[in-house]
Amino acid sequence: MADNDTKIVSFLCNWCSYGAADLAGVSRMEYPADIRVIRIPCTGRMSPKFILSAFREGADAVWVSG
Amino acid sequence: MEYPQAVPLKYGINPEVCLKLTKDKCGTCEEVCPANAIDYTQTQETITLDAGAIIFSPGFKPFDPSKFDNYQYVNYPNVITSMEFERILSASGPTMGHVTTFPKLPAKPKKKKDKLLAKKRKSPKRIAWFQCVGSRDMNKCDNPYCSSVCCMYAVKEAVIAKEHAGGDLDCSIFFMDMRTPGKEFEKYYQNAKDKHGINFIRSKVHSVTEDLDTHDLQIRYVDELGQIVTEVYDMIVLSVGLEITPETKELADKLGIEMTANGFCKTDSFEPVATSRDGIYVSGVFNNPKDIPESVLDASAAASAAGDALSEVRDTMTKQVATIPETNVVGERPNIGVFICDCGSNIKGVVDCAHVTEYAKSLPYVTFADENMYACSQDAQDKMVEQIKEKKLNRIVLAACTPKTHEPLFQETLKNAGLNKYLFEMTNIRNHNSWVHKNNPELATQKAKDLVRMAVAKAALAEPLKEEKIDVNASVMVVGGGLAGLTAAKSLATQGYDTHIIEKKDQLGGEALKLFKTAQGEDVGEKVAELIGAIEANEKITVHTDTTLEKVEGFVGNFKSLLKTGDKTCELEHGVAVLATGAKSSEPTEYGFGQDDRIITALGLDKRLKENDTQLDAINSAVFIQCVGSRETDRPYCSRVCCTHSVDNAILLKTRKPSMDVFILYRDIRTYGERELLYKEARELGVIFIRYEVDKKPVVVIEKDKIKISLNDHVLNQPVTLETDLLTLAAAIVPRKDEKLANFFKVPLNDEGFFIEKHAKLGPAEFATAGVFVAGAGHYPKPVNEAITQGRAAASRAATLLSKKDNLFTSGTIANVNVEKCSTCGVCISICPYSAPRFITEGRFEGKADINAVLCKGCGLCVASCRSGALHLRGFDTNQIFSQIFALGEVV
C-alpha cells in the first residue's frame, strides 16, 4: 500500500452491502478509488481481529457494512 | 458466424458466395483447416423426432425501413436502424462501442482513397431517434400494432450513447406516445429526461434531407403548437418495430396453428401460451410483441404447459449426464491460474487489463494468467477448461464482474475441468472498479492489481469442499388465491405435487372477480369460476380460505409454516412457496372521487357493466381520466393495465349506445402489442382522446345535473369544458406491501412495495431466496393473460426445483468444528439463528459441538464467536480473510 494515498478496507456482507456495491456500479455512480472490498458471507463473520489487522497493515479506515 | 457470442460458436459457409460451391474453384479452406472440418458435400437432411409436445418460439425480425422513402434509409449512410445502433454501442460491434457517424461512400468504391474514406468517422454531436417505424402505421406499412419494446430501447440507447460520448452529445427522441409500462421503466424514462437531459419531442417527422457537402441530415416536423420546425442532426436512428417473417407464418400454417391478422399467434387470455392446436405451445414475440422479461416468462410458462400435458410420462426418457471425475488436489502445491476478463470495453475501457494480466503472472503460486474478451462466453469457457487441464491448474482466480451473478457459471467450468468448484475465487473489477472509477483509469488499474493480489492470496488457501444432500419435501404452498396463484397451484398439482393455497379472504378468485372482460373480450367471471371449479375438484390441492400466515421457518426443500384459520392454527410443511399476493386498485384522492356517485373507478364501471346496469343506457356523455395516481412523484410507476382497460370500456359504452359521447383524457396511451388495435377501434367508433400534461390536470366541478371537466385541448391548444354524466377514474394499482410476508421468506420489496424478483430480465418469476417464487400483480401490475403467464412460469420454476429433489445439495461454504479444539462452551449453539450447531450426544466426542450442514447458512457468526478457534468457515476461513488483508498491506 503506497504511503501517500488513503486506503479504506471494507468488509461487505455478501447479501446486502456487496450487492449494493454491485448496484452502485450498475448505476454508474462514481466514488473515490480508495476502497478495497473484502467479501464476507455476513457481518456475523466479522472478528475484531480482522479490523485490527487491517489497521496494522496500514489501512486509514476500516468499514464494516452489512 | 454472425457475432463472437453466437451459439454454437462455429463457422459456416455461405453457399451463395462460396467459390467452391458455386464454381468448383478455390477450396482453400479445406486445405488449411487443421481439424479437417470442411465438408463441401454436406446437404440438407431431414431428421424425424418423436415429441409429446412442441414449444414454438420462432421470434421476429426487425422491420426493414428501406421502403420508407421519406427517411431515406437506403441512401443516407447516417440514417440507421436501432438494431444497427445497438451494434454500434456494443463493445464487440463494428466500432468497438464508439458512437461514430458513417462517411458517404461512392456507390462502387474503386480507388484506394474511396476505401480509406470508410475509416474516416467522426463523433456525432446530435442524434435523433424516430419512434414507431414499422409499427402503429397502416399508411406506409401494414403493421397496425405497437411493437411494445421500441420506446424503452430508444430511451436506453440514448442514455448509453450519452454515457459513451460524454456530456455534449445531444439526443432527441421523436415519439407519438411514450410507452414505458414495464417494471421500473417509467422511472428510467423520467431519469432519462430529468437527469440525462434527453429531449423528448412529441411529433412524427415527415421528411429527412441530406446536405450534399456536409452530409448533415435536415429534418422537418410539426411541433406541438403546430409550427413547422427544421433541425439538423448528424445521425438518425429509426426505432424499427418487430415483425413476423413470411417463413414463420408459413411454418405456423404447416403446424396448423391459428394466427391473428398481423401474423402473431392467436392465444386465449386464460391459456396465454397454448396455440389453437393441442400440444403446441408458444412463447416469445410470435405470441405478441414483448420485452425480455415477458419473453422469459412466456418460455417458462410454455414449459409448464408442456409439463402439465406430459405429466404422466415424466422421467420416462431421462438420461444421466456423465459427471467428470474430480481430481484430488489435496496436498498439492497451489498452481494458480488467473483469468482477467475485459468484459468487452466495460472493464478494458478503463482498466489496463493486459498490464494486470502481466502483473498477475508475477504473484506467488501463479503459474498461468490470461486475458479474455468475454470470460463468460462459451468459447472462452471451453478454452479455460483446456487451459486448466493443460497447465494442471489447481486453483482458479477470475477478475471480472460480480460473483453474485457469475460465480455459479465459472464453478461449472471448474467442474468440467475436473476441479472441485470451491477451488475458485472471483474478484470484482467491473462493478466495484471500472464502472465506478471510469474517470481514473490509473487508479482503477492499481485497484484491479490490488484486488487480483488479494484474490490470489485467498485462493492459495482454498480447499476442495463437499456439499451435503438436502431432502426436499415435494409439496407446495401458494400464498394468494387470485388468478396467478390459482394458475400456479393448478399446474403444480397437475404435475403431481401436493399443493396448498392460502387465501386470507373467504373465497378464491382475488381481484379478477371484479373484472368484466379481458382485452380480448373473454368474460372474466365465467373463466375464473371455471378455474376455481378445477381447483376444487383437484385432489392434490388443499384450499385454506380465511387463513393467514403467522410464521415461516426453514429453507428450500424444508419450510415449516404456521397457518391460522379463525382461532385454529396448523403447521404446514412444504418444500417451496409461491408468493402471489396480488395488488389492488387505489382509492383516488382527486377529481372529486367519493363526493358524487357519478364519479367512479375503472373497477366501479366494470361492476356496473357486469351487472348490466340499465342506467348506463341513460348516459349521454362519459369521460375517462387516465393516470389517476400513477406516474406521479409519490407513485412514479405506470400501472400498465389502465389504458387498455379504459379503451376497452369506452368501446363497450360506445357500442352499447353509439350516440353517447365518450372522452378519454390521457397522458400517453399505452396500448402495447396488439392492444393497439383496440385503441384504433375506439377512435374509429368516435371515442375522443384528449391529452393533458401532468402539471395541467383536468379540473372537475360537480354540479347538480352535470359534472364539468375543464382542460386544455392539445390539438386546438384551447381550453375546453366537457359535461358528463359518468366520470371513470383509472385509479393506480397499488401493491399489498406485505412486509411481514417479505420478512418471513427474506425477500425484498421495492420502494413502492412490489416484490423484487431475482433478476429483472432473466429471473422474473423467482426470488433470490432459493425455493421461493413470485407471480401476479404483487410483482408489478399486469393484465389477466400476463398474471396467468407468470403463475405458470412460477410453477415451472418451482417444478424445476422439485423435480431435482434427489439432486439438491447444500452449499460447501458452511461452518465445521475442529473437535480437538472445542471447549464445549456452547456459545455457538446459543448464538446461531438457524440452530445449526448442537452438542454431540454420544461417542468419543460427546459434548463437543457439531454443525448440521443442511441448516447452516454459512454466515460465520459462530466462527467469529468461537473463543477456542475450533470453528472454521469453509471458503471464508480466518486464514483466508487474513491473507487478503495481508496481501493488501504488501507494498507494490
Q: Look at chain A and report how many structural domains it folds into.
A: 1
Here the CATH number for the domain that contains residue B858 is 3.30.70.20
State whether B81 and B44 are in the same domain: no
Task: Check pLDDT > 50 for residue A3.
Answer: no
Contacts of B875 in chain A (CB under 8 A): 41
Residues of B in contact with A41 (CB under 8 A): 813, 858-860, 873, 875-876
- Residues above pLDDT 90, as percent of chain B: 80
Q: How close, in Å, is residue A62 to chain B by CA atoms?
A: 11
For residue B831, the chain A residue with the least C-alpha distance is A44
The answer, for A4 touching chain B at a CB cutoff of 8 Å, is no
A6 inside 8 A of chain B by CB: no
**Contact A60/B at CB under 8 A:** no
* B892–A29 C-beta distance less than 8 A: no
Q: Does the beta carbon of A19 lie under 8 angstroms from any beta carbon of chain B?
A: yes
Task: Indicate whether B715 and B794 sit together in one domain.
Answer: no
Question: Residue B115's pLDDT band (boundaries 50, 70, 90)?
Answer: low
B406 domain residue, yes or no: yes
Q: Tell me whether residues A42 and B859 touch, CB distance under 8 A.
A: yes
pLDDT of residue B9: 65
Q: Among B515, B625, B514, B586, which Cα is nearest to B734's?
A: B586
Using a CB–CB cutoff of 8 Å, tell me whether A58 touches chain B. Answer: yes
Query: Which among B163, B404, B890 is the nearest to A22, CB-wise?
Result: B404
Residues B628 and B591 sit within 8 Å (Cβ to Cβ): yes
| Residue A3, domain member (yes or no) | no
Pairing of strands B475-479, B336-341: unpaired
Same domain membership, residue B716 and residue B642:
yes
Q: Is the peptide bond before B181 cis (omega within 30 degrees of 0)?
A: no
Which comes out higher in pLDDT, residue A57 or B206?
Answer: A57
pLDDT at B472 over 80: yes
Question: Which pLDDT does position B345 carry in this prediction?
Answer: 86
Does the CB of B891 have a partner CB in chain A at under 8 Å?
yes
Q: Assess B888–A contact: CB distance below 8 Å, yes or no.
A: yes
Mean of the per-residue pLDDT values of chain B: 93
pLDDT digits (tens, 9 = 90+) for B757-791: 999 999 999 998 889 999 999 999 999 999 999 99
Whether residue A2 is contained in a domain is answered as no
Local confidence band at B5 (pLDDT 50, 70, 90 cut-offs): low
Residues sharing a CB contact under 8 Å with residue B685, sequence separation 6 or more, in sequence order: B651, B654, B655, B658
Is B808 within a domain? no
Query: Measured between alpha carbons, how far is B197 from B157 in angstroms, rounded to an integer?
Result: 13
Instruction: Say how far apart CA B433 and CA A11 lie, in whole Å.
Output: 16
Q: Could you give the ipTM of this predicted complex?
A: 0.95
Return d(Cα B600, Cα B553) in angstroms, integer.
Answer: 43
Decide: residue B323, CB within 10 A, 0-12 exposed, 13-18 middle, 19+ buried. Answer: exposed
Name the domain count of chain B.
7
Query: What is the model's pLDDT at position B3?
Result: 64
C-alpha distances (whole Å) from B518 to each of B202, B270, B515, B580 are 30, 9, 8, 20
**What SS3 state is found at B603?**
helix
Residue B884 CA to residue B451 CA, distance in Å, equals: 9
For residue B335, is it left (φ>0), alpha (ψ between -120 and 50) or beta? beta
Does B317 fall in a domain?
Answer: no
Which of these three, B717, B734, B751, is where a domain ends?
B734
User: C-alpha distances in angstroms, A15 versus A46, B155, B618, B837?
Assistant: 14, 31, 60, 22
CA distance to partner chain A, nearest, from residue B796 (Å) = 26
B884 touches chain A (CB under 8 A): yes
Are B202 and B95 part of one and the same domain? yes
- The residue whose grid cell reads 426453514 is B554
Place of cell 372521487: B593
- pLDDT value for B763: 94
Q: Could you tell me how far CA B726 lies from the centroid of its own chain?
A: 39
Q: What's the pLDDT at A2?
A: 45
pLDDT score of A1: 43
The reply to whether B449 and B519 lie within a common domain is no
Cα–Cα distance for residue pair B102/B76, rounded to 1 Å: 9
The span from the CA of A18 to the CA of A11, in Å, is: 9
Q: Is the pLDDT of residue B826 over 90?
A: yes
Chain centre distance of CA A2:
17
DSSP sequence for B160-197: HHHHHH-TT-EEEEEESS----STTHHHHHHHHHHTS-
Torsion of CA B262, B264, B269, B271, to 10 degrees: 150
Does residue B815 belong to the interface with chain A, where contact is any CB pair within 8 Å?
A: no
Which CATH number goes with the domain that contains B225?
A: 3.50.50.60
Are A56 and B889 an interchain contact pair (Cβ–Cβ within 8 Å)? Answer: yes
**Cβ neighbours for B271, distance < 8 A, ≥ 6 positions apart:** B305, B788
The helix/strand count (H/E) of chain B reads as 22, 38
Residue-wise pLDDT for B300-358, tens only, equals 999 999 999 999 998 888 888 788 899 999 999 999 999 999 988 899 999 999 999 99
Q: Cβ contact (<8 Å) for B436 and A46?
A: no
Measure the CA angle with vertex B542, ends B540 and B543; round to 5°: 140
* A25 contact residues in B (CB cutoff 8 A): 402, 430-433, 435-436
Cβ pairs bridging A and B (under 8 Å): 112
In terms of DSSP bridges, do strands B79-81 and B54-56 run parallel, antiparallel, or are they unpaired? unpaired
Nearest to B432 among A37, A45, A53 (CB): A37
DSSP B359-420: HHHTSTTEEEEEEES-TTSHHHHHHHHHHHHHTT--EEEEEES-HHHHHHHHHHHHHHTT--
Q: What is the pLDDT of residues B658-701, one digit of tens each?
A: 999 999 999 999 999 999 999 999 999 999 999 999 999 999 99
B284-301 residue pLDDT tens: 999 999 999 999 999 999
Distance CA B493, CA B436 (A): 48
Within a domain: B308 = no
Model pTM greater than 0.90?
no
CA distance readout (Å), B49 to A25, B256, B305, B310, B769: 47, 18, 20, 16, 38
Q: What is the 3-state secondary structure (H, E, C) of B741-752?
A: HHHHHCCCECCC
* Whether the predicted pLDDT of B1 surpasses 70: no
Give the minimum alpha-carbon distance from B886 to chain A in angstroms, rounded to a whole number: 7
A35 in a structural domain: yes
Q: Cell numbers 493488501 correspond to what residue? A: B888
Q: What are the pLDDT digits (tens) for B412-430?
A: 999 999 999 999 999 999 9
Grid coordinates in use for B767?
426470488
Predicted confidence (pLDDT) per residue in B490-519, tens digit: 999 999 999 999 999 999 999 999 999 999
**Which of B397, B439, B450, B881 is the best residue to mutate to test the A interface, defined by the most A CB atoms within 10 Å of its own CB?**
B881
Say which DSSP state A33 is in: T
Say if B403 is an interface residue toward chain A (CB within 8 Å).
yes
Is there a contact between B710 and B607 (Cβ–Cβ < 8 Å)? no
Residue (of B101, B341, B109, B371) closest to B236 by Cα position? B101
Residue-number span of the structural domain to which B34 is assigned: 1-48
Structural domain for A18, as ranges: 8-65
| Distance in angstroms (rounded) separating the CA atoms of residues B298 and B811 | 31
Q: Kind and range of the H or E element at B684?
A: helix B676-685
Asked if B668 and B716 sit in the same domain, the reply is: yes
Q: Is the pLDDT of residue B445 over 90?
A: yes
Residue B843 lies in a domain: yes
Q: Are residues B271 and B200 in the same domain?
A: no
Integer Cα distance of B569 and B549 in angstroms:
9
Residue B434 lies in a domain: yes
Residue B671: inside a domain: yes
Residue whose C-alpha cell is 441530415 = B217
pLDDT in tens, B136-178: 998 888 899 999 999 999 999 999 999 888 778 999 999 999 9
Regarding whether B718 and B589 lie in a shared domain, the answer is yes
* 8 A C-beta contact, residue B151 and residue B117: no
**Residues B830-879 pLDDT 10s:** 999 877 899 999 999 999 999 988 778 899 999 999 999 999 999 999 99
Position B881 in a domain:
no
Query: What single-letter DSSP state applies at residue B635?
Result: B
Per the CB < 8 A criterion, the answer to whether B779 and B790 are in contact is yes
| Mean pLDDT (whole number) for B377-394 | 93
Residue B74 and residue B165 in one domain: yes
Instruction: Assess contact for B556 and B770: CB atoms under 8 A.
Output: yes
pLDDT band at B282 (very low <50, low <70, confident <90, very high): very high
- Indicate if the pLDDT at residue B379 is higher than 90: no
Sequence-distant contacts of B751-759: CB under 8 A, at least 24 apart: B752/B635, B752/B636, B752/B637, B754/B183, B754/B583, B754/B778, B754/B779, B754/B780, B755/B579, B755/B779, B759/B405
CA distance B563 to B547: 6
Of B426, B460, B494, the domain-final residue: B460
Measured distance CA(B62)–CA(B238) in Å, rounded: 11
Interface residue of B884, B886, B891 to substitute, partner A, most A CBs within 10 Å: B884
Task: Tell me, yes or no, whether A14 lies in a domain.
Answer: yes
Mutation target to probe the A interface, by most A beta carbons within 10 A, among B888, B890, B891, B892 is B888
